Amino acid sequence: MSGIARIRSRSVALPVANIDTDQIIPARFLTTTTRAGLGRHAFQDWRWLPDGTPNPEFVLNQPEHAGAAVLIAGDNFGCGSSREHAPWALLDAGIQAVISTAIADIFRNNALKNGLLAIVVTPGEHASLLAAAGETLTIDLQSQRIERAGHAPIEFRVDPFARQCLLDGVDQLGYLLARQASIARFEEARA
């Protein structure tokens, strides 16, 4: 996992409330324990028509949104069953951050542990971001601010430990392994 300090990207809006993890990545694609290739199935039932062709009505299939890495989602994003495959699919599809008024706790924890920045903003800030969907945003994780041209920065909060892991580009295990020598010294001093 690479460290995240800043994300600079156009935004794309998917203002649908209560998008659950089965809509993000349907259960029938949970047969893998690797991330590679899951991006093709992100939002599978919305992105693809029954004949397997891209649904031109789905926002992530529209050419003007190609390469957008910041998803502005509707309220209560990521509700439903716990599955790490949901943030994996979004990351593999090129999404690096999700912004919403509410993000389900389990999804948010899975996202942060896997390198997907999950940001909660106020309804007013969310409405402003939605109204300007497609604009370029800079998300600074160090200062915990979303910067936009012509607008005051939007401040957000990420759990301090999760933030440090994202900045360092490690998960919880990686954080501990990086401190293995200190842990060994601590244990030796108390043996």
pLDDT of 1 reads: 77
pLDDT of 84 reads: 87
Three-state SS annotation for the chain = CCCCCEEEEEEEEECCCCCEHHHHCCHHHCCCCCCCCHHHHCCHHHHECCCCCECCCCHHHCHHHCCCCEEEECCCECECCCCCHHHHHHHHCCCCEEEECCECHHHHHHHHHCCCEEEECCHHHHHHHHHCCCCEEEEECCCCEEEECCCCCEECCCCHHHHHHHHHCCCHHHHHHCCHHHHHHHHHHCC
pLDDT by position in tens, the chain (length 191): 788 999 999 999 999 999 999 999 998 988 888 888 899 999 999 999 999 999 999 999 999 999 999 999 999 999 998 888 999 999 999 999 999 999 999 999 999 999 999 999 999 999 999 999 999 999 999 999 999 999 999 999 999 999 999 999 998 888 899 999 999 999 999 98
The predicted model scores a pTM of 0.92
Chain centre to alpha carbon of residue 14: 13
pLDDT of 30 reads: 85
